[in-house]
A = this chain, B = another copy of it.
């Protein structure tokens, strides 16, 4: 019984990691579609979000099923509750990739406004944060979790830069307004991806250390 349960927990973890991979890739593809001006790829991200949604529902069901069948205690219970929370964040990461893709399809109606530098950099950071937050979870690594949270400020900073740079475009030439707006929104969607990674990392920290880093990380 015990061993069977451990196997099922392992399966749950693998399902979670598969879903995390999908979510992370969807962000990667969404940004590649933007940079390469590839409408087909953007459409693909939008379509494939259904897989992420499906994974969320299956994993949630899996969690409830494990709780009902094994009635796990303290540590395992918190692990399962954590998975239950993480899939929620991952599902929303998928939604952000969809949002980016929708903005991209909008942007493709007009010529390129400017070469993209900070936005791909933000995407890379956010993807990395997501990956590391999941690694921190799998290896119960509180230091890595804290490190992920710190990096959130870098993404926020880049996002501010993106915003102010594009504001200048808009102010100088009204013809750039719709495109600049789309790019500003894309910056915000990526910032949200980093926020989800941060949520996960905060929860991992709490799970491992038993004290919360959440809601007062800003000052660190």
Which residues of A are at the interface with B, using a C-beta cutoff of 8 A?
50, 53-54, 57, 60, 63-64, 67-68, 71, 73-74, 77-78, 81, 84-85, 88, 167, 170-172, 174, 177-178, 181, 184-185, 188, 212, 214-215
Residue of B nearest to A172 (CB): B174
Knowing A88-B85, A177-B171 touch, does A67 contact B77 (C-beta < 8 A)? yes
CA–CA, A81 and B84, complex, Å: 9
Residue of B nearest to A174 (CB): B171
Q: How far is the CB of A113 from chain B (nearest CB, A)?
A: 15
A-B contact pairs, 26 of them (CB 8 A): A53-B214, A53-B215, A54-B215, A57-B212, A57-B214, A57-B215, A63-B81, A67-B67, A67-B77, A67-B81, A68-B74, A71-B71, A84-B84, A84-B85, A88-B88, A167-B177, A167-B178, A167-B181, A170-B174, A170-B177, A171-B174, A172-B174, A177-B177, A181-B181, A185-B188, A188-B188
Q: 4 other contacts beyond A81-B84, A84-B85, A167-B181, with CB at 8 A cut-off? A: A50-B215, A63-B81, A170-B170, A170-B177
Q: How far is the CB of A155 from chain B (nearest CB, A)?
A: 16
Knowing A171-B174, A177-B167, A181-B167 touch, does A73 contact B77 (C-beta < 8 A)? no
Residues of B within 8 A of A188 (CB): 185, 188
CA–CA, A85 and B83, complex, Å: 12
Residues of B within 8 A of A77 (CB): 64, 67-68
CA–CA, A102 and B26, complex, Å: 30
Residues of B within 8 A of A214 (CB): 53, 57
Residues of B within 8 A of A171 (CB): 174, 177
